[in-house]
Structure 1
Amino acid sequence: MSFLCRKFEPVNYCYTLCLLLLAHLTVFAQTGAIKGRISSADGQPAPYVTIGIKDTRKGAITGEDGLFVLKNIKPGNYVLVISHTGTKTLYETVVVNSNQATEVTFALEATSSQLNEIVINGSKSGTVNKKPLSIGKLPVPAIDLPQGVAIIGHEVLEEQQVQRMSDVVKNVNGVYMASSRAGTQESFNARGYGFSSTNMFKNGARVNSGVMPEMSSLEKVEILKGSAAILYGNVAPGAVMNMVTKQPKFNFGGEVNVRAGSYGLFKPAFDVYGPLTSKIAYRVNGTFETADSYRDQVHSKRYYVNPSLVFKLSDRTELLVQGDYLKHDFTPDFGIGSLDNTKIADLPRNSFFGTPWQYAHTRQTSAGATIKHQLNGNWSLSGTFSYQNYNRDYYAVERIQADATGKWGRPLNRAYNNEDYYLAQADLTGKFKTGGLEHNVLAGVDGDRYYTAAYSYNQPTAYDTINILQPGLYTPRTDMPEASRIRSVTTPVNRFGAYVQDLVRISPKLNFLAGVRFSYLQNEAPRTLDYKTNVSTLAAAKYDHAFSPRVGLVYKPIETMAVFASYANSFTPNNGLDVDSNALKPSVIDQYEVGVKNDFLGGRLSVNVTAYRIKNNNYSQTAPFQKDGVTPNNNTNLKALIGETLSRGVEVDIAGHPVAGLDVVAGYSYNNITIENTTGTTGGSIAGERLVGNPNHTANASVFYTFQQYKIKGLKLGVGYYYIGQRFSGWNNTIGQSQKYNRLISVPGFSTLDISAGYSVGRFGLIAKVSNVTNTYNYYVHENYSINPIPPAQFTGTVSYKF
């Protein structure tokens, strides 16, 4: 079902949206709220403390800052029940008045160090199902949302010593790394569909996926599976990812650590936070990283810093200002290559076929501000502005496509890209009642602008010839050819969206969600400047707009179980041109999702099962060949619509802390994405083929246990397992293709096993890991020319001191 509009009437739409918002604001229930701070006996914030109202189901859990809010409470006298594992439960009387927030502060009997020990040794409060997601925008627990979610917290990030995002997604079923093209970036798929820059966010703002983001600054990583189009607009189907950085605190503390490992890894890092005044707090974290590689002649160096400030402008208003700077210099590496475009070359893991001089310099800088204002006990308003600059300077030989004998003419590519990105968004959330129905409303608008410049150079197309199977047959060149700019293409893109969504609590057991988004996309005319003639030319501009609806139902037969079903329709614009230089039509996507979420063992363990069906009516990918159907295409702006794709699958997610000291993350996913309903004519895709880059099966398990007693108290042991099944690389076949060989290259599945051990005493900590213990040899493959071997068995260790 397509919701593409033929006519855009912004005045009428905005008028209707304003009426909806005014209607919601005029039906405020006469309720109040309780907000406050829980501290330890020594005055430090107390996180993970459970706050409940006696004889009701209302409750909350304090955050890292010890703060909590209980909303939508009728006026009257209540008894707060304040509990934390291992401490004495407090009972405190409070009075709630209409349209007011009652502020309270309470102190537990334990000190901050005792609370930390309790949290480490005991069970952390709340499973993934009980936590709200900032990426979900509604302040409701995940169990109330009709779609699958995953949250990877800082405990897991630290225990696993994650270096890159690929280490994080191993903990998330249905999301997996599809390729690592030239080692320049990690590309992820979710439920069969590829991520892009539109699907990756940091603190709610899109980030360019052309860099490998820094992990040391993250508090958690959130994955919202299924459709997110109503919240974020023109995203690809499957899932969206949000990286949440560490936030300022009003108590002084921090950490310094040093990580070292195999192949010259050295990474010192720092994290310091605290108050500047009673109303202003800061946090600064950063790192430097240098490393060689198991790949010959490959090096990497990174610099990163992440400062932030929070301002308590009033009791109801908070302003968060953040910055982010990452510089990454490294060697582009296209791996070991393919032979005759039909198979992977059988070569040692360390084989490198680049030049001594090739380089890639990337830089990502961002700054943003978020303001949150509590209008009253039920309604809140937030606004965000963000700016980001992405810059890449690249020069290398690339695309290792040798003939059957190993002979390869090395091509050159010189590129420079610069992107400026601006985002502004505002969200209004609130609760009110109409009769016996309780509404949890989200309404908002967002707009962003990309301004991208890509530069072309006059470097030679061919560098030299070598043989990847018999290196001694040729003498490779080692000089760097001259290259100067000859052309630039600037592409401005503007997007606007307005959305409204209502999660209706029909009864304590039944929730209904409905919403709609209007998206408007303007690709301004790309401008090409020829530096030789100083003549500019404009291509055609392109405009797309659509309504994206979403409905869902959540049924709770018992308090600890939720059964859900949802449907969403959205569209994704397809950038680029086809081989005839025509603009591509957008893709219309239908997503269906059903599942069940369960909490066991008193809320200490969640087990969720989800099934889905996603249909894309017009899937776009880089065209494998130019217009003649024979010449390989090296222009990523040249695209092809291969037909409809259909993705079906099932996921099982397990996470929690079933017993004191035990952390568990595990799961399994099955996905089958195939090409459907093709034209059936020459040049069309073959119906029934599995889409390249996607395995049918993935599985993961991570188990860490910290000993609680005796002389080995504080000792931590862990094991991690990851499996990705057989998948195809290369290109999907077409009817009547001129290439007589099968263009699909089968890549076998593989498993890796990691083991970890650590020990903490007082403020000091040590953790070490041996990854890929079995020294498994396999690949991540991009199309048929960037075949990057996975790392061998290697060691990583981190020493830390917390203050």
Structure 2
Amino acid sequence: MKSIKIPCLVLLLILLNLFNLETSLAQSNQSILKGKIVTADGKAAGYVNVGIRDLNKGTVSDENGTYILRNVPVGQIVIKVSFIGLQTQEKAIKILDGQITELNFELTESSQRLSEVIITAARNNQQVPAIGKAGINPMDLPQSTGIVSSQVISDQQASRLSDVMKNVSGVAMGSSRGSTSENFFARGYSLGSNNYFKNGSRYNSGSIPEVSTLEQVEVLKGSAAMLYGNVSGGAIVNLVTKRPKFEYGGEVSLRGGSFNSYKPIGDIYGPISKNLAFRMIGTFENNESYRNNVKSDKYYINPSLLYKAGKKTDILVQGDYLKYELTPDFGIGSLAGKIPTTISRSSYFNTPWAYNKAEQTNASATIDHKFNDSWKLNVIGSYQLFERDYYSTERIQADAVGDWSRSLTRSNTAEDYYSAQANLTGKIKTGKISHQVLIGTDADSYMNTSHTFNLTAAYDKINLLDPNKYNARVDMPFAKDSLRTEAPTYRLGYYAQDLVSLSDKFKVLAGLRWSYQKALVTDIYNLVNGTTKKGTASAKADQAFSPKLGLVYQPITSMAVFASYSNNFTVNSGIDVFDQALRPSLVDQFELGLKNDFLNGKLTANFALYKIINNNLAQQAQYLLDGVTVNTNTNIKELTGQTTSDGFELDLTGSVVPGLYFMTGYSFNYMRYTKTSGLKGSYIEGEHLVSNPAHTAHGSLFYTFNSTKLKGVKLGASTYYIGERNAGWNNTVGQTQSETRLIPMSGFTTFDLSAGYTLKRISLLAKLSNITNELNYYVHENYSVNPIPPRQFLTTLSYKF
């Protein structure tokens, strides 16, 4: 317990010091403006934006309708009160040096209308995602998107990215080797490391990111190759961190729950000067587990600065550091290729010393410059360092009686990653035709470093069904690295896009990208004798054009029908069994969709129908060159043939009753091989790809009482369904196995219930997850069989200042 209590105590002391710092800074302010905002029927108007016009300085009224602005410029200023869906008000006032000035506002809207627009803003999915780059209104975008706001993340007390992604239709939770990261499938395709971004820059998905402190998570479904180049056809995910503010504030919270889970979180922000603001977010998380001997520790810090370099230019500097240590966990494993039903959910078969240590550092600088009301320039430069140190047993694959010969794997990898992009957006007219233009370029450079260890793989033998049958080893063998391999890769892209408004009802989106990628010859350093040599695979360069064309018809302003086509050029990383670089894959996507806003934005309904064709899907090779030895190297891959993914998605979100919002969605996907060589060892045409469920669904509803004696009480419920799918491996032509290699997995549904209460600045929220104690599994191939979490309790106590 000391290891848990001491870090928590230290972090809480730091947070208290930050709070004292905030208080002392606030007391040093000279001029103060304060007041109260009420609705047309005299009720307090909480959470309304209050700011100084022409200055990036403002605040938000609290639940009592009061606001306060410190360090206000002396002289005549204009105060602006606004919120999406409300009528904006402005009042002029003279501020005197060293005095407190009071200014009150009365909205034209009622308290009921205010509640409606606030809840709508919290859950609305029809907002502009930053990953679109061009700032196109979602109704004008011939592509599906999904956005999960910080309100939803907070209400659901999300701890992992999987908790967030359950709210996005068409995205299914997958599995990873040893549960060292999270994997997702979107529209049938696995989201590899190229499909994750943070604040618009590529982000390595090898760790489990911190999500509880995010502003929002954005998902651009389908192909995004025209904007981002080398990505898969399923979707891209952008994690958006919180930005600094020009008013003092913050929040401290403590989260805890089942299996000795502790997580204090601190968030403080405010101005440093008239033009410079800061934000600092930090958290520590300690988790034990429903799995015996499994635990994790996470440290996360996220500082940021926002500088107003004049009225037209913002400079945002952001950084974060994540240190994540967890126990590699292959779950309950398999018996003769089958999922065992007699092994308990908590059984653990790894060594007591196995570890996975990951560190991730990100830094970025974003410049936004507004030339005028029509043209803007966005420039982003970023750096990322990802390091992983891993040592564990591997692949729990026991025979029919439970005997398993344990083997060892030791790895140490790193990725240095630099990226830059520039996007120029503007609006012009040619006669009566309007254009919304995007012109951009991006470039990436990354170095992948891996180590080879001298290690005897064989370790010992245990029995999954009878732990007393053999004496299990508990020592950690020494493993010395002998080789270091460095593999550099460079990318470059140019792209242009134009949204052409032929009329208010008919619009055309056309775009084209040219992509170039070059993988250089690897350098191999012998750490024993100090020599260096080049790798056997030759340098490889690929280039291609990626077009996109979309049509949008809007019969009324609240409805849009769209159709689009896009081509995705996917450069495949890794090598084949002959040590040669893989050829790229070309992906064609067709999409039809319908977007609707009803009841003045209180209800949205979206539908999308798609077909995605990958001409040659790259996957990890099953065997090495001899065709017998099982391949455990994720860098050795093979091109498996053409795949086709058909499906549709339906989303319904709304807040038709004051204080209530809901989100629900359903998706269907049919992902299968449609063209292979038909030769021995090739995959069978028409067979559904493993790990892809045909059906997924989700639903979430939260209601906050805004009147009566229950004011401040919050109730919520969430559910998630993932349908039948296959684990194992897809079958091949002429395979020697007498039985299918597929492992059928049943579908399952989980239910969560939440309840909370807010009193002024203090709130308490509790959640009971998987209330039916459903038992099912996420399976990576057939050896990492991880049970889903059982019924658990989680609660968060927070204070806003």
Q: How far off is 1:486 after superposition?
A: 1.3
Q: Which amino acid aligns with 2:695?
A: H
Relative to structure 1, is the Cα distance of residues 641 and 774 closer, same or farther in structure 2, using a 3 angstrom cutoff?
same
Cα deviation digits, residues 465-495 of structure 1 (max 9, x gap): 0011111100100000010001121110100
Residue 728 of structure 1 is matched in structure 2 by 726
Q: How many residues align?
A: 728
Relative to structure 1, is the Cα distance of residues 116 and 600 closer, same or farther in structure 2, using a 3 angstrom cutoff?
closer
Residue 326 of structure 2 is matched in structure 1 by 330
Alignment partners' CA distance in 1, 2:81 and 2:282? 36
Residue 501 of structure 1 is matched in structure 2 by 497
2:194 alignment partner, SS class? helix
2:551 alignment partner, SS class? strand
Q: How far off is 1:577 after superposition?
A: 2.1
1:471 alignment partner, SS class? coil
> Which of the residues 738, 741, 744 maps onto 1:743?
741
Relative to structure 1, is the Cα distance of residues 127 and 786 closer, same or farther in structure 2, using a 3 angstrom cutoff?
closer
Residue 536 of structure 1 is matched in structure 2 by 533
Partners of 1:48 and 1:63 within 8 A in 2: no
List runs of 5+ in structure 2 lacking aligned partners. Answer: 1-32, 39-44, 61-78, 93-101
Alignment partners' CA distance in 1, 2:642 and 2:697? 27
Q: Which amino acid aligns with 1:640?
A: E
> Which of the residues 454, 458, 462 maps onto 2:450?
454
Residue 636 of structure 2 is matched in structure 1 by 638
Q: How far off is 1:132 after superposition?
A: 1.2
Partners of 2:615 and 2:643 within 8 A in 1: yes
Summarize the alignment of residues 74-153 of structure 1 with structure 2, pairs less than 5 Å apart: 90=89, 109=105, 118=114, 123-125=119-121, 128=124, 130-153=126-149
Summarize the alignment of residues 163-562 of structure 1 with structure 2, pairs less than 5 Å apart: 163-344=159-340, 346-533=342-529, 534-538=531-535, 539-562=537-560
Partners of 1:122 and 1:659 within 8 A in 2: no
Relative to structure 1, is the Cα distance of residues 41 and 435 closer, same or farther in structure 2, using a 3 angstrom cutoff?
farther
Alignment partners' CA distance in 2, 1:47 and 1:254? 14
Relative to structure 1, is the Cα distance of residues 707 and 293 closer, same or farther in structure 2, using a 3 angstrom cutoff?
same
Q: How far off is 1:629 after superposition?
A: 2.6
Partners of 1:121 and 1:661 within 8 A in 2: no
Q: Which amino acid aligns with 2:314?
A: E
Relative to structure 1, is the Cα distance of residues 84 and 289 closer, same or farther in structure 2, using a 3 angstrom cutoff?
closer
Q: Which amino acid aligns with 1:675?
A: Y
Partners of 2:754 and 2:768 within 8 A in 1: yes
Partners of 1:378 and 1:430 within 8 A in 2: yes
Partners of 2:232 and 2:568 within 8 A in 1: no
Residue 71 of structure 2 is matched in structure 1 by none
Residue 609 of structure 1 is matched in structure 2 by 607
Relative to structure 1, is the Cα distance of residues 416 and 135 closer, same or farther in structure 2, using a 3 angstrom cutoff?
same
2:561 alignment partner, SS class? strand
Alignment partners' CA distance in 1, 2:279 and 2:313? 19
Partners of 1:549 and 1:569 within 8 A in 2: yes
Relative to structure 1, is the Cα distance of residues 684 and 64 closer, same or farther in structure 2, using a 3 angstrom cutoff?
farther
Alignment partners' CA distance in 1, 2:643 and 2:84? 49
Q: Which amino acid aligns with 1:632?
A: V
2:281 alignment partner, SS class? strand
Q: Which amino acid aligns with 1:767?
A: L
Partners of 1:703 and 1:720 within 8 A in 2: yes
Alignment partners' CA distance in 1, 2:742 and 2:298? 36
Alignment partners' CA distance in 2, 1:64 and 1:645? 52
Partners of 1:368 and 1:387 within 8 A in 2: yes
- Residue 595 (1) aligns with residue 598 (2): no
Alignment partners' CA distance in 2, 1:587 and 1:440? 31
Cα deviation digits, residues 251-309 of structure 1 (max 9, x gap): 11100000000000000000001111110111101100111100000111111000000
2:330 alignment partner, SS class? coil
Alignment partners' CA distance in 2, 1:710 and 1:90? 29
Q: How far off is 1:755 after superposition?
A: 0.4
Q: How far off is 1:217 after superposition?
A: 2.2
Alignment partners' CA distance in 2, 1:566 and 1:49? 38
Partners of 1:85 and 1:118 within 8 A in 2: no
Partners of 1:129 and 1:599 within 8 A in 2: no
Relative to structure 1, is the Cα distance of residues 87 and 483 closer, same or farther in structure 2, using a 3 angstrom cutoff?
closer
2:162 alignment partner, SS class? helix
2:497 alignment partner, SS class? strand
Q: Which amino acid aligns with 2:241?
A: T
Cα deviation digits, residues 69-99 of structure 1 (max 9, x gap): xxxxxxxxxxx99865998764899xxxxxx
Q: How far off is 1:530 after superposition?
A: 2.8
Cα deviation digits, residues 432-473 of structure 1 (max 9, x gap): 000111100001000011101011111211110001111110
1:558 alignment partner, SS class? coil
Alignment partners' CA distance in 2, 1:354 and 1:344? 17
Alignment partners' CA distance in 1, 2:754 and 2:409? 41
Relative to structure 1, is the Cα distance of residues 189 and 576 closer, same or farther in structure 2, using a 3 angstrom cutoff?
same
Q: Which amino acid aligns with 1:624?
A: Q
Partners of 1:41 and 1:110 within 8 A in 2: no
Partners of 1:40 and 1:110 within 8 A in 2: no
Q: Which amino acid aligns with 1:784?
A: N
Relative to structure 1, is the Cα distance of residues 280 and 219 closer, same or farther in structure 2, using a 3 angstrom cutoff?
same
Residue 42 of structure 2 is matched in structure 1 by none
Alignment partners' CA distance in 2, 1:215 and 1:145? 27
Partners of 1:43 and 1:107 within 8 A in 2: no
> Which of the residues 653, 678, 681 maps onto 1:680?
678
Relative to structure 1, is the Cα distance of residues 453 and 116 closer, same or farther in structure 2, using a 3 angstrom cutoff?
farther
Alignment partners' CA distance in 1, 2:409 and 2:118? 55
Alignment partners' CA distance in 1, 2:574 and 2:477? 30
Alignment partners' CA distance in 2, 1:217 and 1:50? 24
Residue 586 of structure 1 is matched in structure 2 by 584
Cα deviation digits, residues 394-426 of structure 1 (max 9, x gap): 111121011111110001011101110001110
Q: Which amino acid aligns with 1:740?
A: S
Residue 8 of structure 1 is matched in structure 2 by none
Relative to structure 1, is the Cα distance of residues 265 and 744 closer, same or farther in structure 2, using a 3 angstrom cutoff?
same
Partners of 1:339 and 1:406 within 8 A in 2: yes
Cα deviation digits, residues 204-223 of structure 1 (max 9, x gap): 01110101010122000000
Residue 10 of structure 2 is matched in structure 1 by none
Alignment partners' CA distance in 2, 1:334 and 1:290? 20
Alignment partners' CA distance in 1, 2:47 and 2:737? 62
Identity %: 49
1:602 alignment partner, SS class? helix
Q: Which moved more, 1:118-127 or 1:580-589?
A: 118-127
Q: Which amino acid aligns with 1:536?
A: K
Relative to structure 1, is the Cα distance of residues 361 and 367 closer, same or farther in structure 2, using a 3 angstrom cutoff?
same
Q: Which moved more, 1:653-662 or 1:157-166?
A: 653-662
Relative to structure 1, is the Cα distance of residues 65 and 686 closer, same or farther in structure 2, using a 3 angstrom cutoff?
farther
Relative to structure 1, is the Cα distance of residues 717 and 443 closer, same or farther in structure 2, using a 3 angstrom cutoff?
same
Q: Which moved more, 1:535-544 or 1:198-207?
A: 535-544
Q: How far off is 1:601 after superposition?
A: 1.6
CA-based RMSD: 2.6
Partners of 1:128 and 1:150 within 8 A in 2: no
Partners of 1:203 and 1:243 within 8 A in 2: yes
Alignment partners' CA distance in 2, 1:715 and 1:83? 26
Q: Which amino acid aligns with 1:441?
A: V
